[in-house]
């Protein structure tokens, strides 16, 4: 029973679950987290734990903001916004400041708010310069009631099915290559930490032993090949916190970084899958270059035709026939193979190509 004369609002795990739209297990788990309010008293034969409702609400707002926001929908001024007349005029910058204050974060940048305008998340300005209204305004302005309706709008925050990631939105399907993910040494952090494309590139280059960051251009190519999943967050997506560029959850980024494929020096090692039968010719004049230089099938054909005295390039069709017959090794690099630099067509290391060109056999005019 509630002690006689007890006047403070009280709650228990069942009431928390109903109020914040979570299951009872989630509400119970909160009690083991740091800073959760102490039990006021126990009631009934089963020792029902009773908590102060206002203390729980304040704790949830600080530690599980997304869940708290969902529970405030439809309530009058749940964010403690400053009082004022509904027709008071507010600038875009002021709206950003008030939204940041309401959501316990930095002010929403004006550039982000303009994106929301273009996506019609924020309604058009109520007043504009030269609109003939009074008082005269020198920049677009919004009525307080318009701004507050925007700030207190329903948020697209969704509860995760497990853990404490209450603010985490549903994730897109991961884009992974075939095979098991690699066990790489990656920095620890929450799955829902947000990373930019540049930050992913730095982690990818280091973890996969390249000694330098994977470029943004290369990562963009991986995106088009669906090796890297689409961004989890984009400007103007209506989620919190607002972002001013594309960002990925740490879990999404790490799935990409741990993709199957050879690493570092091992990935750059020349292949010799189709060594020619017999000794390779050493009387051919081939252009110098690094073994790991990359050549297209057409470039190999040009070198092959010239060096072997045919007077014209070996056609791509003929080169493919050599490849199918096993005389030319399979391409060392293919689009979406996860190696650096990214390629947009099959390519061969110079050493692989030269093994093919130096194959035994008669040359051009000797045929």
% of the chain surpassing 70 pLDDT: 79
Mean pLDDT, the chain, integer: 79
Which of residues 276 and 294 earns the better pLDDT score?
Answer: 294
The helix or strand, by DSSP H or E, that contains position 182, with its residue range, turns out to be none
> Is residue 227 over pLDDT 60?
yes
DSSP structure string for 225-244: TTSSPPPSB-TTSS-SS--S
CB 358 within 8 A of CB 279: no
Cβ neighbours, 10 Å, residue 139: 11
CB 260 within 8 A of CB 181: yes
Which of residues 139 and 177 earns the better pLDDT score?
Answer: 139
> Is residue 272 over pLDDT 60?
no
| pLDDT of 172 | 38
| pLDDT of 87 | 92
Cα(14)–Cα(274) distance, rounded to whole angstroms?
Answer: 69
| pLDDT of 151 | 81
- Please state, in angstroms and as integers, the Cα–Cα distance from residue 360 to each residue in 232, 308, 352, 357, following that order: 54, 11, 15, 9
| pLDDT of 268 | 46
| pLDDT of 220 | 83
> Is residue 88 over pLDDT 90?
yes
Cα(356)–Cα(325) distance, rounded to whole angstroms?
Answer: 12
DSSP 171: P
The helix or strand, by DSSP H or E, that contains position 164, with its residue range, turns out to be none
CB 309 within 8 A of CB 325: no
* Residue whose token pair is 């045929």: 367
Provide the pLDDT confidence category of residue 174 given band limits of 50, 70 and 90.
Answer: very low
> Is residue 16 over pLDDT 70?
yes
Cα(320)–Cα(322) distance, rounded to whole angstroms?
Answer: 5
CB 291 within 8 A of CB 353: no
% of the chain surpassing 90 pLDDT: 18
> Is residue 30 over pLDDT 80?
yes
Cα(72)–Cα(366) distance, rounded to whole angstroms?
Answer: 87
Question: DSSP E strands: which ranges in the chain?
Answer: 10-11, 41-43, 48-52, 89-90, 142-143, 194-195, 248-249, 294-295, 348-349
């Amino acid at each position: 029973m509630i002690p006689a004369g007890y006047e403070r609002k009280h709650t228990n795990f069942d009431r928390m679950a109903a109020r914040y739209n979570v299951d009872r297990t989630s509400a119970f788990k909160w009690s083991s987290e740091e800073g959760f309010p102490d039990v006021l008293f126990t009631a009934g034969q089963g020792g029902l734990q009773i908590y102060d409702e206002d203390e729980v609400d304040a704790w949830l707002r600080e530690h599980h903001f997304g869940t708290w926001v969902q529970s405030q929908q439809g309530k009058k001024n749940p964010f403690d916004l400053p009082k004022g007349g509904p027709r008071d005029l507010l600038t875009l910058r002021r709206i950003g400041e008030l939204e940041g204050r309401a959501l316990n974060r930095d002010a929403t940048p004006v550039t982000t708010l303009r994106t929301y305008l273009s996506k019609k998340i924020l309604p058009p300005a109520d007043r504009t310069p030269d609109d003939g209204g009074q008082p005269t305004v020198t920049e677009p302005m919004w009525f307080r009631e318009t701004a507050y309706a925007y700030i207190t709008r329903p948020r697209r925050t969704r509860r995760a099915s497990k853990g404490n990631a209450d603010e985490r939105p549903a994730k897109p399907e991961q884009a992974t290559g075939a095979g098991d993910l690699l066990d790489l040494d990656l920095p620890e952090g929450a799955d829902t930490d947000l990373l930019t494309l540049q930050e992913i590139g730095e982690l990818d280059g280091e973890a996969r032993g390249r000694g330098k960051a994977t470029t943004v251009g290369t990562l963009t190519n991986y995106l088009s090949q669906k090796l890297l999943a689409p961004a989890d967050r984009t400007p103007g997506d209506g989620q919190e916190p607002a972002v001013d560029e594309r960002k990925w959850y740490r879990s999404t980024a790490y799935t990409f970084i741990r993709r199957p494929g050879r690493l570092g020096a091992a990935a750059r090692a020349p292949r010799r899958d189709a060594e020619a039968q017999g000794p390779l010719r050493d009387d051919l004049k081939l252009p110098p270059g690094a073994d790991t230089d990359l050549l297209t099938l057409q470039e190999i054909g040009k070198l092959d035709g010239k060096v072997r005295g045919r007077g014209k390039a070996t056609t791509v069709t003929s080169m493919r026939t050599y490849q199918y017959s096993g005389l030319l090794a399979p391409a060392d690099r293919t689009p979406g193979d996860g190696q650096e630099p990214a390629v947009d067509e099959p390519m061969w290391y110079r050493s692989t190509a030269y093994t093919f060109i130096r194959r035994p056999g008669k040359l051009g005019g000797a045929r």
